[in-house]
Structure 1
Amino acid sequence: MKITVFNGSPWGERGHTHIMAEEFEKGAVQAGAKCRNVLLVSKKIQPCNECGTCMFKTPGVCRMKDDMPELISEFVDSDIVVFATPVFIDNVTALMKTFIDRLLPVLEPHYEKDSNGEYRRRKRYKTYPKFAVISSCAMPEQSNFQVLRLYFRRMARTMHTEVVGEIYRGAAGLLLLSEKEFRFKPMVDKYKELLRASGKELVEIGRIGPNTTERLEQPLIDSDEYVAYANKMWDQLLTERRTPAFAASR
């Protein structure tokens, strides 16, 4: 099984999302999958302007000269594609959205009805990869992922596939804080173990099952305790006029 993780975090390897994806991949590899982690921040991806070239003039091929042809090949050749993104203002990052928009060449221009009688574009390829989602959010509630849950399920319908795994983590700041605040380390280590188990399960049974998904949704810490700690840290950063350590080099 080939799994490709497209990470749309502008923080790349320094962000919460990468930590989650990395642990997930460890479990998938343990179960026999071949994984590749693509950091979109390191790629040149221009925004789609829907000029129609990939639909009509050169079917399936975009006119823009950047890294997307390689990424589209990686997408199509995968058994499972994982979209990894932090939540920015209740949605995916601009980087992830730009990448997704540029996947348009994998579809044909003609419309057809799906099994529910709703129109979508026809397939350009015989098969498409299954989808999984990994997302992090600094705020604690799982309700912060409502838009992403719907977005990726709708996108899967558009792309003639299905979502076979969803991993959403509120209070994701703990994943980085645990490196300095050792009182958070036990809960984060336990969560990382669950991430590895979810990657393994996805490979072994083809999806992340409901029991594992339910465990992934459980809070790592009381929301009020987390927010009190976070606000204290924000006050300190404001006083010192500096950014968080993981953002300091950008």
Structure 2
Amino acid sequence: MKSMKLLVFNASPRKSSGTTDVLLETFIEGARSSGADVEKHHIVDLEINGCRGCFNCWWVTPGKCIQRDDMDKLLPAISEADLMLLGTPIYGRNVTHYLQKLLERTFVFTLPEMVNRDGETQHPGRVSRFPRMILAATCGFPDTSNFDIVRALYPMALPIFLPAAQLLLYEEGKKQLSGFLQAVRLAGQKITAGEELTRKMKDELIVEYSDEMKKAIVEMHNRYSESLSQ
């Protein structure tokens, strides 16, 4: 079986020192155990301009953006990938602007005409296929509702959501999240091996805390915040 190509983008400005990267590296560990070909980028290190909305890629230079930046090499990599793992912290209940700029520029993969698919108007794809998307997101609040906007924006992506990701900074927190991290690792292994995840496996990729745990997380955060302001 041909090795799957996994393209990974970390949209956190903290790069390798942030909790988002912990999720990405855990998934990558599982993917590599299945022999996946992994390419990873920290978006903050790349020169990526936002889409200008000029539509040149539709009618003037079809399929090609007029901007010259690092997307020149990333767009071919995206079109050749089997899977695309996107990692982002949640800022203001949304993905970071680094990820937004990257995804905006994939507009070149669409054709200008409109079609109706399953009751929804869309632009058909210019490329034969787009990589399957996996979205790994972290946030500071302990509630999964903090991911609602992202879930609505990217319904096609397999969600890996970790609220109160700061728990990963503590040994006790890592122990509490060990089952979740194992689920992320297993997902990386299974998906890159061409296997489908069961409903149970997918559910394990989203952390849900009890009300008691949420209260403890809030109290811990407030104590920490107070210590910094003294």
TM-score, length-scaled by structure 1:
0.85
Q: 1:145 aligns with which of 147, 157, 163?
A: 147
Amino acid at match of 1:172: A
How many residue pairs are counted as aligned between the two chains?
Answer: 225
For residues 111 and 185 of structure 1, do their structure 2 counterparts lie closer, same or farther at Cα, with a shift above 3 Å needed?
A: closer
**Counterpart Cα distance in 1 of 2:44 and 2:10:** 8
Counterpart residue number, 1:119: 121
**Counterpart Cα distance in 2 of 1:208 and 1:86:** 24
How much is the aligned-residue C-alpha RMSD, in angstroms? 1.6
**Counterpart Cα distance in 1 of 2:207 and 2:24:** 18
| TM-aligned CA deviation for residue 225 of structure 1 | 0.7
Counterpart residue number, 2:25: 22
Amino acid at match of 1:223: K
Counterpart residue number, 2:55: 52
Counterpart residue number, 1:40: 43
**Counterpart Cα distance in 2 of 1:235 and 1:94:** 29
1:195 aligns with 2:184: yes
* Counterpart contact for 2:142–2:214, Cα < 8 Å: yes
**Counterpart Cα distance in 2 of 1:184 and 1:127:** 40
**Counterpart Cα distance in 2 of 1:59 and 1:29:** 36
Counterpart residue number, 1:160: none
Counterpart residue number, 1:86: 89
- Give the % identical residues: 26
Structure 1: tracts of 5 or more residues without a match: 157-162, 240-250
**Counterpart Cα distance in 1 of 2:198 and 2:180:** 16
Counterpart residue number, 1:159: none
1:66 aligns with 2:69: yes
State the Cα deviation string for residues 100-154 of structure 1 (Å, max 9, x = none): 111111111111111x13221122111221111111011111111111111111x
* Counterpart contact for 1:188–1:220, Cα < 8 Å: no
| TM-aligned CA deviation for residue 57 of structure 1 | 0.9
SS, match of residue 184 in structure 1: helix
Counterpart residue number, 1:186: 175
TM-score, length-scaled by structure 2:
0.92
For residues 123 and 238 of structure 1, do their structure 2 counterparts lie closer, same or farther at Cα, with a shift above 3 Å needed?
A: same
